[in-house]
Amino acid sequence: MFVIIAYDIVKDKTRYRVAKLLEGYGDRVQDSVFESVMTKEKIDELMDRIGRLVDPEQDSVRLYRMDKDYRDRVTMIGDQKIFEDLEVYIV
């Protein structure tokens, strides 16, 4: 599933830790926005790990699950690629 993760984190140290964590799951497309393709299990794992890092009273993290037609609704300006949701089957 294609997802977009965006965050607004107050403390520099926490923001750095969350960014480093997200780099292991997807691609940074803006300073505080990442795109990724992951399973529901990976999403749950990631959100659990982020939840242990952030302060819910001050910080905000949002994960948007995009449906299969997301590419038709993306409009961009600038030199960037649209993340391809590739399905892999191993037989």
Say if 49 falls within a structural domain. Answer: yes
Residue labelled with tokens 């590419």 = 71
Say if 87 falls within a structural domain. Answer: no
pLDDT averaged per 10 residues in sequence order, the chain, 91 residues = 93 97 94 92 96 96 81 64 51 41
* CB neighbourhood size of 9 (10 A): 21
Say if 37 falls within a structural domain. Answer: yes
Say which CATH number the domain at 22 has. 3.30.70.240
Domains identified in the chain, total number: 1
Q: So what's the pLDDT on residue 5?
A: 95
Query: Side by side, which strands form the sheet with 60-66?
Result: 27-30, 33-37, 2-8, 60-66
Say if 89 falls within a structural domain. Answer: no
Which residues 6+ apart lie within 8 Å of 54 measured at CB?
7, 9, 14, 18, 61
Residue 8: domain span: 2-66
Say if 20 falls within a structural domain. Answer: yes
Residue labelled with tokens 């300006």 = 77
Q: So what's the pLDDT on residue 89?
A: 41
Say if 21 falls within a structural domain. Answer: yes
Q: So what's the pLDDT on residue 2?
A: 87
Q: So what's the pLDDT on residue 59?
A: 96
